[in-house]
Structure 1
Amino acid sequence: MARVLLFGRLADVAGWRERQVDCISIRTLRDLLAAEDEALGQALAGKGIQVALDQAIVRGDASLTAKSEVAFLPPMSGG
């Protein structure tokens, strides 16, 4: 099972920060999370959300393994 991490407001929306999920790709993971929680699905589809797979930012879809770590990252702000 892949380790899934949510940061910032994404964790607030979901009500969890970390869990194990059995998925074959980032796309199916997003679909699964959206089906389970509509508000989280909308948040994950929002502008500026990035995905890190094993601590490297990825664009588009990618395959997952049982040892994968997927982190959903909200847009950062600072000043």
Structure 2
Amino acid sequence: MSGINTITVRYFASIREAMGTGSEQRQTAAATVGALREELMGQSPSAAEALAHGKAVRMALNQDMCLGDAALKSGDEVAFFPPVTGG
């Protein structure tokens, strides 16, 4: 499926700090969560560093954990966050 989807993107913890916002409405042609991550990495050096492939970044689609190949559609909510550590 191609076209432009309007989605909500949420950022948490250190990723939120790097992105400069906790959430945004975004129009994207990305077909998957992984493609959206790539698109977001192109926004700024701090975004590229926070979402880099070498980093452990967790992703959720509509509040369910997902992998990069999860398909996007209009109205979806995607969240990016670092792994949660306990102590």
TM-score computed with the length of structure 1 as normaliser: 0.87
Alignment of 1:39 with 2:70, yes or no, is no
Asked if 1:16 corresponds to 2:41, the answer is no
Q: How far does residue 48 in structure 1 lie from its aligned partner after superposition?
A: 2.2
Identity of aligned residues (%): 34
- 1:50-65 matches, cutoff 5 A: 50-65=58-73
Gap runs ≥5 in structure 2: 1-5
Structure 1 residue 25 corresponds to structure 2 residue 52: no
1:11 aligns to what SS in structure 2?
helix
Aligned residue number for residue 6 of structure 1: 11
Superposition misfits of 4+ residues, deviation over 3 angstroms: none
Cα distance per residue 1:14-71 (max 9 Å; x no partner): 1111001122321221122111112212211243211000111112322111110000
Contact 1:30/1:41 (8 A) holds in 2:
no
Please tell me whether the aligned partners of residues 41 and 47 of structure 2 are also in contact (alpha carbons under 8 angstroms). yes
TM-score (norm 2): 0.80
Unaligned runs of 5+ in 1: none
1:75 equivalent in structure 2:
83
**Residues matched between the structures, number:** 79
C-alpha spacing 1:48/1:25, structure 2 compared with 1 (3 Å): same
CA RMSD after TM alignment: 1.4
Counterpart-to-counterpart distance in 1, 2:79 and 2:11? 6
SS at match of 1:32: helix
